[in-house]
Amino acid sequence: MGSDPRVLVVAEADDLIQGLCDGLDRLGWVTVTARSVEAATATLADWPLDAAIIDARHPDAATLPDRLRQAALPRRLPVVAVGTSHGSVPTDADMEHAGVPHAAQATLRIEQLVRAAITEEEFALRAQTFALHATELRPVDTTGSPLRILVAGPADHRFIALSNALTQGGAEVVAAPTPYTAFDYLHESAFDAAVLWGAPDHAPALSIASGMKRNTRLYHIPLTLYLRGAGEIDLAELFHRGFADVATVDTPEATTAGRVLALAQAHRRQVAIRKALEAARGSGLMDPTTGLFTRDLFAAHLGRVAEAARARRRPLSVCVLKVAEGDSLTHARAGGWLDRAMPQIGAMVSRLVRVEDTAARLSPEVFALALPATPGPAARLAAERIAAVIGCTAFDAGPDRPPFVVEFDIGAAEVAAGESVATVLERASADLGRNRRN
């Protein structure tokens, strides 16, 4: 998301949602309130908003999510429903919360939903690009097996009741009584979500959470902390630690289970899209040594991405990374050692970008990135981080020679209104030259 996230709030009154809006404002978010469907759709036409929050008590709550999504097209708009609707009518929102969520929790979940929306936008565009080259790109089926939920913590009647509610919701529940068994299960098989029991001692649950957030494979698994009471711990601290949700035992088990299952389903869908995008590397269209987009495929796709970014009123930036000249590379290049390292370097580039980013190999020593929903300064920072990680890796330079490292010159440019693909690449390359001279 950008530096000034903007959220549409749809509510007839402020009594329920004002506290959340105030919290979002304090965190630097911009909230725009509409009282009616007509005002909300007009606002979406005027502003490029990132998400919508609706008061589930609104008389049009049942149809609001779909009407807001239609008004925001072609941009995908995540919708969050807060509160309990009249007559318990489903709202078809992307996330529902019976109570008012903590502002830190709301920002975390909205950021995840927006990221998912941008990923799905990119997947649709990439499918169109591949279709023009007679290659079908389809998402992996997510309905073939039940959701798998890890519940970690000692046996407790309320925790067991939540596990039973998850099972009744169709999930496969795996119980881990200790952090050690929890990590054994996490490393042995895949899970869609995890619930950590936070009573009577929070330390084991926090230990599991910290370990998962340090592991790149487990980092994105949504975590729910199940507490004895709301006042036990600072909620903001928990959400900043990476918990997707915090529930208490005074919340009905069915409600908590529904929230956990919604998190798990969203996670599985994102994993499926990632797998589909990664499978494209074996399509025959990609660079054979690195698995990245080729120069021609990148140019064709970038044109489609730029057109979509203009229609969706999202920023789009392009970065160029060129292997920098240096004394250590002279021998590595002459002896062919740099060529031998390039497949590994390209693979590192592909792993270091977000799933919605497009990475390409423009020439043997030049890479390019297309970063949707990313302004120019943020794109440069992303490219610098990628270069820094690769710069910490030592590559073989042959017998009796010390290993060499690879550094990059970096150029970045944000796509301007009406700008062609060729022009933005030229600007990024010109920025590369200025960076090298400075």
Rounded CA separation 109/95 (Å): 8
Tokens 């590397």 map to which residue?
281
- Same domain (yes/no): 272, 299: no
What pLDDT, on a 0 to 100 scale, did the predictor assign at position 437? 41
In a domain, 34, yes or no: yes
In a domain, 122, yes or no: no
What pLDDT, on a 0 to 100 scale, did the predictor assign at position 391? 92
What pLDDT, on a 0 to 100 scale, did the predictor assign at position 88? 55
- Same domain (yes/no): 401, 295: yes
What pLDDT, on a 0 to 100 scale, did the predictor assign at position 295? 93
In a domain, 48, yes or no: yes
- Same domain (yes/no): 387, 364: yes
In which domain, by residue range, is 323 found? 286-437
- Same domain (yes/no): 239, 272: yes
Residues 6+ apart with CB under 8 A from 372: 118, 121, 122, 305, 309, 314, 316, 356, 357
Instruction: Find how far residue 419's CA is from the centre of its chain.
Output: 27
- Same domain (yes/no): 293, 397: yes
What pLDDT, on a 0 to 100 scale, did the predictor assign at position 32? 95
Collapsed DSSP state (helix, strand, coil) of residue 184:
helix
Rounded CA separation 360/386 (Å): 14
Both tokens assigned to 320: 């160029």
Domain end residue (candidates: 278, 294, 314): 278
Residues listed for the chain: 438
What pLDDT, on a 0 to 100 scale, did the predictor assign at position 301? 94
Rounded CA separation 205/186 (Å): 14
Collapsed DSSP state (helix, strand, coil) of residue 220:
coil
- Same domain (yes/no): 362, 344: yes
- Same domain (yes/no): 189, 231: yes
DSSP 37-96: HHHHHHHHHHS--SEEEEETTSTTTTTHHHHHHHHHTTS---EEEES--GGG-----SEE
Q: Are 324 and 433 in contact (CB under 8 A)?
A: no
In a domain, 142, yes or no: no
Q: Domain holding 191: CATH number? A: 3.40.50.2300
DSSP 286-330: S-TTT-SBPHHHHHHHHHHHHHHHHHHT--EEEEEEEEPP-HHHH
- Same domain (yes/no): 223, 163: yes
Rounded CA separation 314/227 (Å): 39
Rounded CA separation 58/11 (Å): 6
Both tokens assigned to 175: 């119980």
Domain end residue (candidates: 62, 82, 99): 99
Rounded CA separation 358/301 (Å): 9
Distances (CA, A) of 413 to 389, 424, 426, 427: 22, 6, 9, 6
- Same domain (yes/no): 80, 181: no
In a domain, 170, yes or no: yes
Domain end residue (candidates: 82, 99, 116): 99
In a domain, 372, yes or no: yes
Q: Domain holding 404: CATH number? A: 3.30.70.270
The whole-number mean pLDDT for each consecutive block of 10 residues of the chain, a chain of 438 residues, reads 81 92 92 95 93 93 93 94 70 82 87 89 92 83 86 84 92 91 91 86 82 85 80 71 81 86 88 79 81 92 94 95 86 88 93 91 94 94 95 89 92 91 90 61
Rounded CA separation 322/363 (Å): 9
Tokens 């965190």 map to which residue?
27
In a domain, 106, yes or no: no
- Same domain (yes/no): 418, 312: yes
How many domains, the chain? 3
Tell me the chain's radius of gyration from C-alpha atoms.
Answer: 24
What pLDDT, on a 0 to 100 scale, did the predictor assign at position 438? 46
Both tokens assigned to 207: 């230990």
- Same domain (yes/no): 316, 400: yes
What pLDDT, on a 0 to 100 scale, did the predictor assign at position 160? 86
Residues 6+ apart with CB under 8 A from 50: 1, 2, 5, 6, 7, 78, 110, 114
Asked, as a colleague might, if the bond just before 90 is cis with ω within 30 of 0, I would say no
Rounded CA separation 410/210 (Å): 33
In a domain, 141, yes or no: no
Q: Are 321 and 366 in contact (CB under 8 A)?
A: yes
Q: Are 67 and 41 in contact (CB under 8 A)?
A: yes
Residues 6+ apart with CB under 8 A from 397: 328, 331, 332, 335, 337, 403, 404
- Same domain (yes/no): 164, 191: yes
What pLDDT, on a 0 to 100 scale, did the predictor assign at position 365? 92
